[in-house]
Amino acid sequence: MKSSNRYNRQIILPEIGESGQEKLNASKVLVIGAGGLGCPVLQYLTAAGIGTLGIIDFDVVEASNLHRQVLYGDNSLGKNKSLAAKARLTDLNPTITIHAYPEKLTTKNALTLFSEYDIIVDGTDNFSTRYLVNDACVITGKPLVYGAIFKYQGQVSVFNYQNGPSYRCLFPDPPKAGSVPSCAEIGVLGVLPGIIGSMQANEVLKIILSLGNVLNGKLLMYDSLTAQSSSFSINRVSSEVSKVLASAKNFETIDYDLFCGIKQVSEITAKDVFLLEDVQFIDVREAYEQPKIENLNPSCIPLGNLQQQINDLDKDKETIVFCQSGIRSKKAVEILLANGFENVSHVKGGAIALNNSIPDLTGFENL
């Protein structure tokens, strides 16, 4: 065992012992984000002797981080967080392996990266990445230790553990874009990330060591102003988990910014539609809906059948989708984007607007 004297105070705990320390040393934990939550998680997991730690973060250290991200100092300013964290943590415990990934977590690298680790820790600060992390954990079968902070309050839970609930079972849909301010907009008490991040690190150790009651199927709420905590149960929603698993083959093409409303679906006016050439039109209405827009020669695929018939369409062509009024077509665009289509828009106002904008070509037949 590496540096057993270093870990003496936890080895002498009868529930851990040398066998427990060996489990820690054999474990691999990936921390997403080396910010407010990631810093305390990383510090305590490093000190505890987790054998392999991964840190992924594309951000750089700024002066506004230092009041809560105490892993860094003035010498870290302007440096990539994952690299700065690795340097500091290596000094804290040079006996473990630390991998720094100074890049953004995306659908392109998440599954490969997650497959190399046993446990994933969510230290992110935005909903797009949280849903991405959750889905990647579900697809790769990795437990997710979740944490979140807001002003003076924090949350901790463990998702996707021993057939327990996922993040989507608690939050199936993201909040409306802009409705939840970030720490940069509303502020946060500097010690709060330290408290919540330490709780997350504690859950990681409990999972590895099979100690106590893991926060599986429970959400712990902590209020730093009252020093009170409460928890409530989370039920597994099998349909939410199944949807994620069903999307596995298309995971790399999912746009989580679009899902969370950060990126808007591209739209085109009905008038401009008739100026386009060499375009693939898709009518996602039901067969009984009127009027038909015959002069566009659309592929008629009801929204409910779009996923099944998506291979009949040309991904390389500019694609315009319409429905009756412009509501279902937005969902259709999301489905197409998730399946590798890139140049996709929907018609504002749908078939109703199109019918009112059909050019009058009377008198031009003989020209």
Q: What is the per-residue pLDDT across 105-155, written as a single tens digit (0 to 9) for each?
A: 999 999 999 999 999 999 998 889 999 999 999 999 999 999 999 999 999
> How many other β-carbons are positioned within 10 Å of the β-carbon of residue 246?
10
Distances (CA, A) of 366 to 295, 352, 358, 360, 361: 19, 30, 19, 14, 11
Asked if residue 281 lies in contact with residue 297, where contact means CB atoms within 8 angstroms, the answer is: yes
pLDDT at 350: 83
Q: Two tokens at 12?
A: 């002498």
3-state class (DSSP) for residue 178: coil
Q: What is the DSSP letter of 55?
A: E
In this predicted structure, the answer to whether residue 177 has a pLDDT above a threshold of 50 is yes
In this predicted structure, the answer to whether residue 363 has a pLDDT above a threshold of 60 is no
pLDDT at 366: 39
Asked if residue 349 lies in contact with residue 291, where contact means CB atoms within 8 angstroms, the answer is: no
Q: Report the alpha-carbon distance of residue 37 to residue 85 in Å, rounded.
A: 13
What's at 46, amino acid-wise?
T
Q: How confident is the model at residue 263 (pLDDT cuts 50, 70, 90)?
A: low
pLDDT at 335: 83
In this predicted structure, the answer to whether residue 178 has a pLDDT above a threshold of 70 is no
In this predicted structure, the answer to whether residue 276 has a pLDDT above a threshold of 90 is no
Q: How confident is the model at residue 296 (pLDDT cuts 50, 70, 90)?
A: confident
* DSSP string of 309-322, one letter each residue: TGGGS-TTS-EEEE
Distances (CA, A) of 111 to 38, 58, 91, 250, 356: 20, 18, 30, 12, 47
Q: Give mean pLDDT, residues 346-353.
A: 86
In this predicted structure, the answer to whether residue 367 has a pLDDT above a threshold of 50 is no
Q: pLDDT tens digits for 282-292?
A: 989 998 887 88
> What average pLDDT does the structure give for the chain?
90
pLDDT at 118: 98
> How many other β-carbons are positioned within 10 Å of the β-carbon of residue 263?
14
Q: pLDDT tens digits for 303-341?
A: 988 988 988 898 888 999 989 888 888 888 888 887 778
Q: Produce one character per residue of 10-34: b if its CB has 16 or more CB atoms within 10 Å, e if not.
A: bbeeeebeeebbebbbebebbbbbb
